[in-house]
Every structure is written in C-alpha cells, then in structure tokens.
Amino acid sequence: MDIEASLPSLHSPSYYTEPSLDELAKIEAIDSGYCSRVPNFVVGKVGYGCVKFLSNTDIRWINLDKIVKFDHNSVTVYVDEADKPPVGHGLNKAAEVTLILRLRSKSSDYLESNRLLNKLGRICLKQGAKFVSFEPSNGEWKFMVEHFSRFGLDDDEEEDVVMDDAAVQPSSEVKDSQLSSNGLELSRSLPAHLGLDPAKVQEMRMLLFPGEDDNDDDTEQNLFPDKRFTSREAMKVDSPITRKFHNKATPIPKRAPQALLEYHTSSSELSPLNNILLSGQSKGLAAKRAKIEGFKLEGKYSSPVGVKYSNCVVDAALFMGRSFRVGWGPNGVLVHSGSPVRNPNSGLSSIVNVEKVAVDRAVRDEKNKFREDLVDLCFSSPLFLHKSLDREYNEIEADSFGLKLQKVVTNRSMLLEICRAYIEIIEKQLEVDELSTSYRVLLMHQVTVWELIKVLFSERGRNGNGPLNITYNEDGEDMMLDKKDSSSDIDFESYPLVRRADFSYWLQESVCHKIQGDISCLNESNYLENILLLLTGRQLDEAVEMASSKGDVRLAILLSQAGGSMINRADVAQQLDLWRTNGLDFSFIEKERLKLYELLAGNIQIAAQDHSIDWKRYLGLLMWYHLPPDTSLSVIIHTYQQLVSERKVPYPVPVYIDEGPLDEAPEWNSGDRFDILYYLMLLHANGEENSSSSLLKTLFSAYSSSYDPLDYHMIWHQRSILEAIGAFSSSDLHVLDMSFVYQLLCVGQCHWAIYVVLHMPYLEDFPCIQANIIKEILLQYCESWSREEKQRQFIEELGVPTAWMHEALAIYFQYYGDQSKALEHFIESANWQKAHSIFVTSAAPPLFLALKHSEIWRITSSMEEHKSEIADWDVGAGIYIDFYILRSSFQEENAMSDLGKLESKNEVCKNFFSRLNDSLLVWGSRLTVEARAAYSKMAEELCALLMSTSGEKSTPEVQMSSFDTMLTAPIPEEHRAGYLQEAVSVFTYLLTEPAS
C-alpha cells in the first residue's frame, strides 16, 4: 500500500503535528499500520495552542487543514457538523487542549490571577470541559474534553480576559508616541488600534483635510468630523495617500477577523423594527463603553454618489460595498440599509435596519396572535370553493412526466351563486372575535367588492328574486318598488337598464353607513343639511319624510322628484336663473336650501361645495342628479374617469384611506393608486377588448384593496372568477400568482400553493415554469408537506408526479444525514445514479458489516434492472452482487462448470480483486472507512475460501498462483503479511522438493 497516500495531510505553514509528517512516514515504513494507532497524537498552531488526542488515534487519510481550526483563544475540530464522526471515532474523541491566551496583564498579582482562574473554570464548566491548569506567566490554559465542537472564549468572555493582537506586539514607533503633546492617550485612538503611527496619521489628516482646524485634540475626531463615526467605518476610507502610508508603516500584526456588525434589538419584543449599528467598540481594548447610535443625515448632504464628496459621508450600503444592499432572512425578516420601510426618504444613515415583515397578518387577531380558524377561513375555505367549480385541463410534458394544468370555466349566469358563496365565507370571518377594527373594515370592503362583481358582470343585473324589483317610468327613471317575486324573463334590450338600476342600488348600499355617520355628527335642528346628506346617498324616502315632518311641504314635493326626468331638472334650473336675473336677494334664503335647489337642477359641483364627501357619493351625485337617467353605465363611469384625470372630483382612494385614517394605512399621495372598486368599474366600462395590461396589474395589486402589500388571498380568487367568465384575458399576471403562492407557503399550506401554481397560464416561452416551481416548493418545504398525510394525498390527487415528491424527500433526508431513507426515496424517484452513489458510499457498507445481506440483495436487485443508466455500476453496486454469487459458488459442492477447477476459481478471484481496487480508485475519498472495511471483509472471505479450496489436491505451483492472487486483494496489512509468510513456506517447499 502507498504510505504517502495513507498519511494525514497538512499544508498550513503555521500548523504542526507531533510526531511530524516525516516522522510518521518513517515509522509507518518500519511498522505497517502505525498511522491507525498513533498514541497521544498532537496537532497545534504556533502561538495559538495545541490539541493532544489521548490513547491511540487513527489518522489515516485525514485532512487536518479542514478538520482542525485554531482561532484566537479558541479551537474547533470538525467545523462542518455533517462531517463529524460519532464520539470516539476519528478526531472526535477525548483530548487535552492547550490554548495560549493574550493576557491584558502578565503581572503576578494574586487577586487578578485568582479571578482569571475562577473565570476560566466557569467557562470550562459551561462548555462541558474539565479544567486542568492555567499559567499566568505565559497564558497557557489547559483543559480536558470528552469530544469536540468549539472550545475557547466567546467575544464577551474575551473582553474580560484578553486583548487584541494589535496591542500584543506594538511597534516601537507606537510605543514612542503613545502620548500626544497635550497628554492624550493615542494608544487608545483609532490609529493605534489599527497598528499605525498616530503621528503619521496626523500628518495624513492635514493632507486630506487642509481646511479644517489644526488644533483639534482628538485625532480620530479630526479624521471624521462626526463623532459618531466609528473606527471600523474609518477603515473604509481609502486614498492614494493612505495606501502609500500603509506601505511605509511598520508591519501590522495579523488580526483575528471580527464582525463588522453588532445587533441591538429593541427593548420591546413586539416592536417590528430592530437595528444593527456599525460598531466602533474595539474588542478587547479597555475603552469606555458608549452607546452607538450611528449617524443620520438628511438627503440634501453630499455623498460619494453625488457631485461633491470631500467629507466622505457614506450610508450603510456604500460602507459595506456592493455585496450588500438588501436581503431576506428566515420568517419574513428583511435586512436592508438606509431608510426604514416605515420612514422612507429619510436621507443617508449608517444604520442597517432589520425589520419583521408580517407575511401572515391576515391570520392574526388584534393581539397579534396566530389563529388556526382564520387560516381555514382565509385560505382553505375559499380554495375549496374554487376547487368545486368546473374546470378544463391542459396536460403538458415536464421531465418525461405529464402535468395537468387547470383553469376554472364558468358562465355569467353562475356568477351570482359564486359571489354569494364567497360572501358567506367572508361573513364567517367577521364572526371571529378579537379581530382588529382595520381588518374588519377590509373584510366588509371585500363583501362590497363581490357585490359589485355580481352587479357588473353577471348575465342579469341582479337575481330575479332579490330584495327589490326595478321598474321604469315613462321618463326612463329607475324607481325602487317593494319586494315581489318576478320569475318572468327580462327582455334582452332592457339588460343595460337593469344593470344600471342594480348598480345604483349597490352604490346606495355601499355609502349608507357613511351617511348615517355624518348625520349623527350634525345638529338635528338644521334639517336642511341633514336632507342634503341624505340626498348624497339617494335616500329619497327619508329626505321627503324629514321635510314633511318639518312642515316644508313644497320642498318635500320637489324632493320626491329628485333625479327624475330632465324636464323637472330644467324647470328648477330655469327658476334659479330667473331669480338671479331679477336680482333676488339670496340672503333671505337658507344657504342649504339653495344647495338643495342646485342639486335638484343638476348642478352637483355647487351643491357639493363646503361638503367633504367620498368618491362613491360623488359618483352617485353624477349618476343620479347630473347625467340623464337613461345614460348607460359605461358612459357614467367614463365621465367620472375623465373628471378624475382633470382633478375635478374626489379621487377614488383605497378603502384603507377612505375609511381611515387607520394605524396600518401606508402613506398615500394624490393619484398614487385607486380602489379596486374603481378599477372594476373601468374593467366593465372598457370591455374585454379594451382592458389594458396596466389596468389589470393595478386592479389586482394588493394595495388596491388592502394596506398589507403581501395579502393576495382574495384578489387571486377575484381574478380567477373574472377571467373564467371572460371579463378579460391575460397571461401577464404571474406576480399575482407567485405572491399568493408565497403567502400560502408562509402559513404552511404547501398543497394549496401547488394548486395555485397549476392554475398559472401556460406560456410558450417558458413551458416548464409550473414544473420548476412545483419542484422548488416540494424541495424547500419538504418538512412541512411530508409530515401531513392530507397534504401528501392532496398533492398526489393534483397529478403531481410522485417521483418529484420522492426526489424532494431524498434530498431532504440526505441533507440531514439519513442515508438509508434518502436511498429509498431516490430509488422511488427513479434517480438511479444518485441512488447508486449513496448505496456505494454510505448505505451498503454498514449493512454489509452488520451482516444484513438480504437487504443489500433487495436494493441491488432493484437497481440492477437499470444498470445501463448507472455509471460505474461494475465498480459499485455490481461488486456486491458478484460477491454474493462468487461466495455462493465457492461454498456449493457442485460449483459452476467454469469454476470447477482451482485455476478457474483463482482467475475469477483475481478479476474480482482487481475490480475492488478499481472501485477504490474510482470512488476515492467518497468511500468512508466503513466502505473500505466492507471491501476488505469481502476480500478476506474470498481469500479464506480460495485457501481452503487450494489446499485440497492442489500442486504447490497452483497454491503459489493462489497466493499471488490473494496478495493483490485490498486486505489489512496483517492479513497480507500472514499470506506472504505462507507463500514463503510453500516457495521454500518447492525449492527443497527436488533436492529431497
């Protein structure tokens, strides 16, 4: 065997071993197998310490550079937990650790030494080690460990015991100039901390900032005018002068890598905002601790991205370089630089913000408590309703598997029942106690949205047996009558009028609560203002009754005709014009009464003056009192759209702005975004052909219906139903699909997330996008869906190939080190190459050594049918099959014809041993110690069978040939030596036989 190949590897120049690698090679050449039982083996790093492994240690084929890592005041053996062997194997065993600590003071003070001894003893006890000794004179700290992870000092412990390297070996120049002319301790300043000459840094400052005051005392303060600028921030300032100075300065001792960031969490655990501040506190220096808040500057100040940057002001992102801008952490943690999400445009800042993004706000109550019942009502119930609808399938091919894409198909006559079913689900959510007020507002708004969808897009304007029936008078005015059953069909030509009347009723209902709220705030004595408010919601009956109760009969008669024929409006307008022409003094008429007359005349802008009404009521004024009563709904909506673009009417603001102000409502600028109700109206008015992509994207944006930008749980359903009835057609809404998928994944609904993915439209340019997303979901959220049988069964019912599920489970178990389960799932997923690799390197060896040969035979038999798809089969799993066949043939009395003679058996064994050696070369380091032991056991068994056969009625020449074959087998050296001795005996016999 090659001695060099079996030795441990170590290439780091500062590391050493005892015995050295050269000594190990010499001893191994003399005493074969010495490296498998090295007593008291030592690995160390000069100036850091060493580890002595007690008793005999097997160090063959060990990469010491990868396994043993010395850091300042700590040592780690097996940095990667996945590579760590069981306790007692490899280097994960009992050892004596010696660490050289960098002490603050090496004085022989008894109290200080006793304090250090007690502290180091407590550290050993906390880490599960046994304290041995501590020598203050040289800083040697010894302790015993039973097995390995990381042992040593943490950062907080290090500050109390040790000091930084820069202070351990200061240059002579630093020592000579530790005090400035005014007595300031420059050894505690930034230049000294960096191992630089403070005097030369002062000269450099004069060159960098010639315009500043030369008499400043603090060098660090002069270099960086803002006192909150920290030392590690200063390290980023770079210029040709600083580079030149670094080259000429005394060599800087190597420093241990330290974190640039210190995490400072808010005092309140419920606060969504935590900050990471760039720390200027020097680890290990005896400096006075101060609260670090970072600097903040308004955006008007100069920066390196502006025109002038002589002050070198940087924000956090520029400080940390292009490698950091923003990043997502687990559970919705957003790490970003600069301005917080809740306070945009706040200028430059050194603060890195860590903010918790609430990805599951829709399922939390007002106490921020996660509610399982809300998960069912928000996600499961609507999706089950969606799943119950008729659909069509489009089967596509993905990775040689068939995948069925789905699409809901329905008609406008079914829309009434569908909308009613969604409304019932939302009403059940409203029955949940402890919901926040703002969330209840959004839920009631969703009811209004579904009601509007029913009005605008159903085949008939409203249900025939609804609460009200609509008839029309000779002038075309829509009048509301009492409820009665109407089973007769509506004439097709009257559909637009029915829809307009239904929209009018919906508009009245949606603003009724606002009118009642405004009236409750007014003085009851001013009945005219109350009547005006009632008319903004077209509550004509209440307005007429109020006027009659006050004895204003004439006004009541006029109000009964409000919004009627255009003749009545023209008469009122003509009367007002006559009064103006004849010089009537309007001061004798109440201001509110004049506004009522203007409203009856159709002058809604004059009537709405001095009144703050919402956009829906203004749309109602336009529809009821300004435009002719036979105006189509599309014309009404387009007229309002034109007025919005001209900024003559209230903006159709989202509900969380309109019904607010709410605590959760984000900032809103004029024209920024509008309410989903307004977009639905535009969608109806424009028709399917004229619906632009930009309109659809804004319509189905989260901000159009919710203050939560991550909440898409109801918007997705609205899009799906509208598209199913043919209201629009679009394949450019993948952001909506993926946002809803992410929301479902965050609440653990992986099966529903895959259901949504299957409803994404098929794209010719990206034919495999659904398959790729499903695979990613199965892989990333394997732990979630695999533990719930209902989710697994649901995913299978969706037609997702089970091979994808098994492959995800295989990768999951392989990641967590369960190789046997990973092997089974790779076999189930028909990933024969992966299964073969795991079988050879991890699964088969322990089974073989545990004598579980039937299990090995079962696994290899299942893979043998696909061996043509597996690379290196003959030097992998094929070895185990051939071994069993070969061993069985040796043990049987009537062997196969080609193995009947010793020469044939010898040749077969020789070929098999050659394959074993080839397998060791092919798989190399991927083979574990157990795998190599399994190969050796195979070779030993065959050698034993070959020897027993060769000893019966065989010539010495044949026996020598058998020994030659056995010496090529990968067997332990002691066995090889035994075969060699027997071969020498036979050879001696051959030499002496002729003489005798």
pLDDT 10s digits, 613-641 = 889 999 999 999 999 988 999 999 999 99
Name the CA radius of gyration of the chain, rounded: 42
Residue 881 is assigned to a structural domain of this protein: yes
Residue 463 CA to residue 233 CA, distance in Å, equals: 69
Pairing of strands 74-77, 68-71: antiparallel
Domain boundary among 124, 141, 162: 162
Give a yes or no: residue 971 inside a domain.
yes
Q: Per-residue b/e over 166-178, b at no fewer than 16 CB within 10 Å?
A: bbeeebeebeebe
The CA-atom distances, in angstroms, between 396 and each of 162, 487, 495 are 65, 45, 41
**pLDDT surpassing 50 at residue 921:** yes
Mean pLDDT to the nearest integer, 350-359:
69
Alpha-carbon distances, residue 325 vs 236, 321, 459 (angstroms): 17, 8, 51
Helix (H/G/I), strand (E/B), else coil: 493: helix
Q: Kindly report which listed range (60-74, 406-420, 670-684, 957-971) carries the lowest average pLDDT score.
A: 957-971
Lowest model confidence (mean pLDDT) among 123-132, 342-351, 615-624 = 342-351
- The tens digit of pLDDT for each residue in 53-64 reads 988 998 888 889
Task: Answer whether residue 473 shows pLDDT above 60.
Answer: no
Q: What is the largest distance, in Å, between two alpha-carbon atoms of the chain?
A: 159
For 263, other C-beta atoms within 10 Å of its C-beta total 12
Phi and psi at 529, nearest 5°, equal: -70, -35
Cα angle, residue 268 at apex, residues 262 and 269 outer, rounded to 5°: 80
What residues are paired with 135 via a beta bridge?
140
Least confident of 61-70, 98-107, 961-970: 98-107
More confident residue, 274 or 672: 672
b/e map of 311-321 (b: 16 or more CB within 10 Å)?
ebbbbbbbbbe
The model carries a pTM of 0.64
Average pLDDT, stretch 415-442?
92
Question: Does some domain include residue 805?
Answer: no
Is residue 492, in this structure, part of any structural domain at all? no
Domain-located, residue 956: yes
Reported confidence tier of residue 925, pLDDT bands at 50, 70, 90: confident
Rounded CA separation 43/19 (Å): 9
Tens of pLDDT, residues 781-808:
998 899 999 999 999 999 999 999 999 9
Closest CA to 792 of 827, 751, 837: 751
Q: What pLDDT does residue 812 have?
A: 93
- Does some domain include residue 934? yes
Angle at 171 between CA 167 and CA 173, to 5 degrees: 125
DSSP 8-state symbol, 846 = H
pLDDT of residue 488: 45
Domain membership of residue 72 as a residue range: 3-162
Is residue 355 within 8 A of residue 273, CB to CB? The reply is yes
**What's the CATH number where 555 sits?**
1.25.40.690
**Structural domain count, the chain:** 3
Domain end among 617, 645, 674: 617
Q: Which residues pair with 394 in a beta bridge?
A: 405
Q: Please give the Cα distance from 276 to 262 (Å, whole number).
A: 6
Is pLDDT of 595 > 50? yes
Residue 408 lies in a domain: no
On the question of a cis peptide bond just before residue 19, with omega within 30 degrees of 0, the verdict is yes
Domain boundary among the residues 617, 642, 667 is at: 617
**Mean pLDDT for the stretch of residues 741-763:** 93
Most confident of 295-299, 450-454, 563-567: 450-454
Write the CATH number for 117. 3.30.1610.10
Give all strands (DSSP E) within 529-688, no chain letters: none
Residue 991's alpha-carbon distances to 693, 960, 988, in angstroms, are 97, 12, 5
Q: Quick one: pLDDT band at residue 901, thresholds 50, 70, 90?
A: low
- Comparing 29 with 244, the larger pLDDT belongs to 29
For residues 902 and 949, the answer to whether their CB atoms sit within 8 Å is yes
Q: Which carries the bigger pLDDT value, residue 464 or residue 48? A: 48
- The three-class DSSP label of residue 874 is coil
H helices of 167-284, where? 172-176, 190-193, 198-208, 219-223, 231-234, 240-248
Closest to 279 measured CA to CA, from 311, 327, 339, 320:
320
For 830-840, how does the pLDDT look when each residue is reduced to its tens digit (9 = 90+)? 999 999 999 99
Across 178-185, average pLDDT:
36
Query: What DSSP assignment string belongs to 711-744?
Result: --TTHHHHHHHHHHTTS---S--HHHHHHHHHHH
In a domain, 692, yes or no: no
pLDDT in tens, 8-33: 888 888 899 999 988 888 888 888 88
pLDDT at 523: 74
Q: How far, CA to CA in Å, does 930 sit from each of 464, 934, 937, 938? A: 79, 6, 10, 12
